[in-house]
């Protein structure tokens, strides 16, 4: 394999990758992971150009910056992958501080001509490959499960190649400024080609991450109410199917709360639809503040919302609904024509394994309408007495007397 031809071909390929990734990152700027990927490819391209000039310029201008750029590009790739699967900011700047120490220490040792100084970059790089693979396998879930596993496997391959090249460097080329002589070593060249192949596979995976993210966003849009950001009826039905099956399987309690804004038509007629929209958005924000991550909120009608509360008995659901009602009563929304105030009525019903989600929702809806007929601005629970009476009415019979207390 001709060393110069290999680098020329690799540079051309990575240039196409880098330009394509930059274009995709520009048109998907909200996907921060793509920005990191684009930066990693640009940095990697600069590294390849410098590496291709090895032997034509002094090592200070080729080997030293090329090795550092490779490490930096992988750090950027790690940040991009982390954005997709972890979705959290770094808790502290420690990784970047450590990377800065490595990037500073390597040229100092290189210029001092200290043998085995390449280990300052090689060992952290091998560790970073393994840590990134572990991150993907641990945090890659749901839509990102398959791509995370595939990418993790490629990273393990990169770690293996990097470890082999580190051993090769220590055994034969302990002085990194002498690696120019490795160009005639087949082991060096073929391991370099293996690394380039795996890097190309990583680019394909990065594009796969983007496609998965866009599909996930599209699916979320289909299930989301555009005005309030709550789920729509379809989204609630999907969540309810999942949670009712879980409740039946494990016996966990499950409750639903139906919420309706009192006199909403009057608010729209007197203050305009913009005021009504503000009220709907404020209600969703307030309700979300009272919910846990596993709870589900959906807009099921014009001013009607459903809240699904997994692992929650009736008493706990009633407490949540009452807190929401009380906070809404005290809420004052700033608006051009004056503050907006409103109240809500809510109905609550538990899930019964013998019945489906639709029955639970209908019961909660009936309790909510009963709250409106009873004077509004209150929370009512669909009781066992109402459940039995409905059952007997459906069968055309009179219910037996219920025990009091």
Domains of the chain: 3-222 (1.20.1070), 233-394 (3.30.70.270)
374 vs 368: CA distance, rounded Å: 10
123 vs 71: CA distance, rounded Å: 11
Residue 166: in which H helix or E strand, if any?
helix 145-172
Task: Supply the pLDDT for residue 398.
Answer: 46
pTM (2 decimals)?
A: 0.74
- For 162, other C-beta atoms within 10 Å of its C-beta total 24
Task: Supply the pLDDT for residue 317.
Answer: 95
The answer to whether residues 347 and 362 touch, using CB atoms and an 8 Å cutoff, is no
185 vs 8: CA distance, rounded Å: 19
Residue ranges of the chain with pLDDT lower than 70? Answer: 1-4, 176-183, 384-405
Task: Supply the pLDDT for residue 128.
Answer: 95
Strand partners, 333: 340
Task: Supply the pLDDT for residue 368.
Answer: 93
Strand partners, 256: 308, 349
The answer to whether residues 140 and 74 touch, using CB atoms and an 8 Å cutoff, is no
Residue 30 is given by DSSP the state: T
Quick one: CA dihedral 102, 107, 113, 118, positive or negative?
positive
């Amino acid at each position: 394999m001709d060393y110069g031809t290999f680098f020329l071909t690799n540079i051309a390929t990575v240039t196409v990758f880098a330009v394509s990734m930059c274009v995709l990152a520009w048109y998907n700027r909200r996907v921060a992971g793509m920005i990191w990927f684009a930066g990693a490819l640009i940095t990697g391209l600069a590294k390849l150009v410098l590496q291709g000039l090895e032997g034509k310029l002094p090592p200070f201008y080729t080997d030293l910056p090329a090795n550092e750029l490779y490490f930096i590009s992988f750090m950027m790739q790690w940040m991009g992958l982390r954005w997709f699967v972890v979705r959290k900011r770094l808790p502290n700047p420690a990784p970047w501080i450590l990377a800065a120490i490595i990037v500073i220490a390597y040229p100092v040792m290189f210029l001092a001509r200290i043998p085995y100084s390449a280990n300052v970059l090689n060992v952290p790089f091998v560790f970073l490959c393994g840590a990134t693979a572990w991150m993907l396998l641990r945090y890659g879930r749901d839509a990102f499960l398959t791509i995370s596993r595939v990418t993790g496997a490629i990273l393990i391959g990169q770690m293996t190649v990097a470890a082999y090249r580190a051993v090769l460097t220590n055994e034969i080329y302990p002085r990194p400024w002498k690696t120019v002589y490795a160009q005639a070593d087949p082991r060096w060249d073929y391991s370099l080609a293996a690394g380039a192949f795996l890097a190309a596979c990583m680019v394909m995976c990065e594009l796969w991450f983007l496609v998965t993210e866009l599909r996930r966003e599209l699916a979320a849009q289909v299930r989301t109410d555009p005005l309030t950001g709550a789920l729509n009826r379809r989204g609630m039905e999907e969540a309810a199917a999942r949670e009712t099956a879980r409740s039946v399987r494990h016996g966990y309690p499950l409750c639903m709360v139906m919420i309706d804004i009192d006199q909403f038509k009057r608010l729209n007629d007197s203050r305009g639809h913009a005021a009504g929209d503000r009220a709907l958005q404020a209600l969703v924000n307030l309700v979300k503040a009272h919910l846990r991550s596993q709870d589900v909120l959906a807009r099921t009608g014009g001013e009607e919302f459903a809240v699904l509360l997994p692992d929650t008995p009736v008493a706990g659901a009633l407490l949540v609904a009452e807190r929401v009602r009380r906070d809404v009563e005290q809420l004052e929304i700033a608006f051009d024509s004056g503050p907006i105030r409103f109240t809500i009525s809510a109905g609550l019903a538990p899930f019964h394994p013998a019945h489906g989600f639709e029955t639970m929702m209908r019961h909660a809806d009936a309790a909510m309408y009963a709250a409106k007929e009873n004077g509004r601005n209150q929370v009512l629970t669909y009781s066992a007495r109402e459940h039995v009476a409905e059952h007997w009415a459906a069968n055309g019979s009179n219910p037996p007397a219920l025990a009091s207390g």
